[in-house]
Amino acid sequence: MAPYTSAQPALSWCIVGRGAIGLLAGARLQLAGYPTRLWLKQPANLQLNFTDIQQQNKQLCLLPQQTNSPVQRLLVPVKAYDVRHAVAQLMPYLANNAQLVISHNGIVPLQPLLEQLTPEQGLWFLSTSQAAYKPAPDHVIHSGTGSSYLAKLTAASWEDDDIVAAMTVALGPLSVVADIYPLLWQKLAINVAINPLTAIENCQNGQLAAPRYQPQIEALVSEVCQVATASGYPMDISSSLAKVYQVIAATTNNFSSMQQDVQAGRQTEIDAICGYVCQQAAQLNIAAPANKQLLMRIRALTTAT
Ligand code: KPL
């Protein structure tokens, strides 16, 4: 990770929450010279132990965001169902030209979020396959190399280069794309196949490579491809399945985010994953029984705990 070298001082970043991806981004930004602050429900310094991808340990201190200076750059790596609430809470503290980067699994309608912003504020979506987990609340481990895609959802502005540079440091390697939706659908196929099944089976991602899961994974991914294609984002079943199995192999020892949420009794992102597929399928008159079944099973599991 290259340190920040521009002649201009690096603008500070505020990161919402203390999830694994946010802390990974925060650690990498701070180590590269970007002043980095955390927006937490209970503001406090976080003495963070960061294990990088080379398994080197680094000690950092991430300070809480001060409310007396406007937030210029905001990374919102919170769950799909929490984004609107998190942004609404921060609205009074955002600079008039603040740039917000959201990042989550699944797809949720973005229009309500866009409507909260002023015309000069910018909204970006970052989709990442970087893997990180927290073995303890103050320890984040960068456990798998991935990459990220970034798209601007509002009009272009002169500040765009510095956002791209910072997000490259935080979660790169990074590619900038004009339309994030083809990538969101591809990621949805991966999450639909891995997250609910690992949560139900209470297993690591790698276990889904067993042949007994193949028919269900094929049915789930084939429904995503049909719905995406009918929505204007053509997706091919065999290459999508190949990607799913690549991710299963690359993250074989990982516990998916949904497995962890279910085990911890937390709300899951199922509504933005299988729920979104079912919702879109219903609008397009496409049957999506495999997604519907897992949507119901995960909802039942989380309401039962
Ligand atoms: O995105 C993930 C998640 O756990 O939410 C995958 C890609 C399945 C990695 O675990």
Give the pLDDT of residue 304.
59
Q: Rounded CA gap, 180 and 232, in Å? A: 13
Measuring from atom 2 of ligand 1, which residue has the nearest CA?
A: 256
What are the angstrom distances between the C-alpha of 167 and each of 90, 101, 103? 20, 9, 11
Under 8 Å CB-to-CB from 297, ≥6 apart: which residues?
196, 200
Domain boundaries, the chain: 13-178, 182-304
Task: Say if residue 233 is exposed, middle or buried (CB neighbours under 10 Å; 0-12, 13-18, 19+).
Answer: middle
For ligand 1, is residue 12 a contact (CB within 6 Å)?
A: no
- Note the pLDDT tens digit of each residue in 161-195: 999 999 999 999 999 999 999 999 999 999 999 99
Ligand 1: residue of 24, 107, 191, 270 to mutate (most ligand atoms within 8 A of CB) is 191
Write down the CATH number for the domain with range 182-304: 1.10.1040.10
Give the pLDDT of residue 83.
96
For ligand 1, is residue 190 a contact (CB within 6 Å)?
A: yes
Which of 37, 36, 43, 39 is CA-nearest to residue 16? Answer: 39
Output the pTM of the full model: 0.92
Give the pLDDT of residue 169.
97
Measuring from atom 4 of ligand 1, which residue has the nearest CA?
A: 256
For ligand 1, is residue 247 a contact (CB within 6 Å)?
A: yes
CA atoms within 13 A on the CB side of 17: 19
CA of 31 to the centre of ligand 1 (A): 25
CA of 297 to the centre of ligand 1 (A): 19
DSSP code at position 291:
H
Q: Provide block-wise average pLDDT over 10 residues at a time, the chain (305 residues).
A: 55 95 98 97 96 97 94 97 95 95 96 93 95 93 91 88 97 96 96 98 97 98 98 98 94 90 95 98 98 98 73
Instruction: Please state the atom number of ligand 1 nearest to the C-alpha of residue 205.
Output: 10
Q: Was domain 13-178 assigned CATH 3.30.70.100?
A: no
Give the pLDDT of residue 15.
98
Tally of residues, the chain: 305
Instruction: With beta carbons less than 8 A apart as the criterion, state whether 78 and 23 touch.
Output: no
Give the pLDDT of residue 8.
61
Residue 293, classed as helix, strand or coil, is: helix
For ligand 1, is residue 256 a contact (CB within 6 Å)?
A: yes
Measuring from atom 1 of ligand 1, which residue has the nearest CA?
A: 191
Residue 187 falls in the annotated catalytic set? yes
Which of 94, 84, 75 is CA-nearest to residue 15? Answer: 75
Three-class HEC string of 206-244: HHHHCHHHHHHHHHHHHHHHHHHHHCCCCCCHHHHHHHH
Give the pLDDT of residue 9.
64
Give 3-state DSSP helix, strand, coil % of the chain, rounded to 5: 45, 20, 35
Of 41, 79, 152, 187, catalytic: 187
Amino acid of residue 251: T
What are the angstrom distances between the C-alpha of 156 and each of 13, 95, 96, 104, 112? 20, 17, 15, 22, 20
